[in-house]
Amino acid sequence: MTIIHQAATSLGYTHIEIAWEATGLLWLPFHRFLATNPFLQPFAPELVCFNPKLVAKFKEGLDLRGRKDDEHDAYDVAARLRFDELPLSYVPDDFWQGLRCLTHYRYKLSRNLSCEKMRFQSYAFLKCSDWKRVKALRPWAEGPRAFSDVFGATSIDLLTRFTVAELTRLAPPPTRRPHRSSRPGTLR
């Protein structure tokens, strides 16, 4: 920062514009450093954080070969800055930035949880494919299944207490239901 400060002072600059592409959250510490740096404060720095999509579309007009490296990216960001139609660059304060990160993290956790539930169900199906079709201790009983939800309280309790082999031994033997004949009043 001292080099930028010395160069700007010796050239008589009163204003400095600094721009970068926002990549993930890597730009945030850089922004905080520049915004609070005492060497830059006399020059009223304008800090512009570009959305990478804006820079990518701008690059297409500059270079049709599509070179992609850090040196060309810096040149493209500087060219976009010189173009002088800057987007409104909003960086929330620490409270809102933290809330934004936590909300994004919660969203990702909920998506990962649903993916992991689906993965578990597919593995459970491979190990014991009848798990969702099992009825309560009376397999011939009509009505709802005991485990309509694999992640229900009863199902989770049985899955955590017993192995599949133990559950198989605990299951009652299948019994035959009386079969009705096509003629009324007779049993077969």
Contact 46, 18 (CB under 8 A): yes
Please indicate whether residue 19 or residue 171 has the higher confidence score (pLDDT): 19
User: Which amino acid is located at 38 in the chain?
Assistant: P
C-alpha to C-alpha distances, 176 to 8, 141, 168, nearest whole angstrom: 92, 12, 19
Q: Hey, where are the domains in the chain?
A: 2-83, 92-123, 128-173
- Looking at residue 77, what is its pLDDT? 75
- Looking at residue 137, what is its pLDDT? 47
The residue among 36, 33, 31 whose CA lies nearest residue 47 is 31
State the pTM of this model.
0.49
Q: How confident is the model at residue 136 (pLDDT cuts 50, 70, 90)?
A: very low
Please indicate whether residue 10 or residue 23 has the higher confidence score (pLDDT): 10
Sign of CA dihedral 84, 12, 16, 69: positive
Q: Which helix (H) or strand (E) holds 27?
A: helix 27-36
- State CA 161 to chain mean position distance: 32
Q: Which helix (H) or strand (E) holds 176?
A: none
Average the pLDDT over each of 69-73, 125-129, 180-184 and give the range with the smallest value: 180-184
- Looking at residue 102, what is its pLDDT? 93
What pLDDT, in 10s, does the model give residues 87-123?
Answer: 666 777 888 888 988 999 999 999 999 899 888 888 8
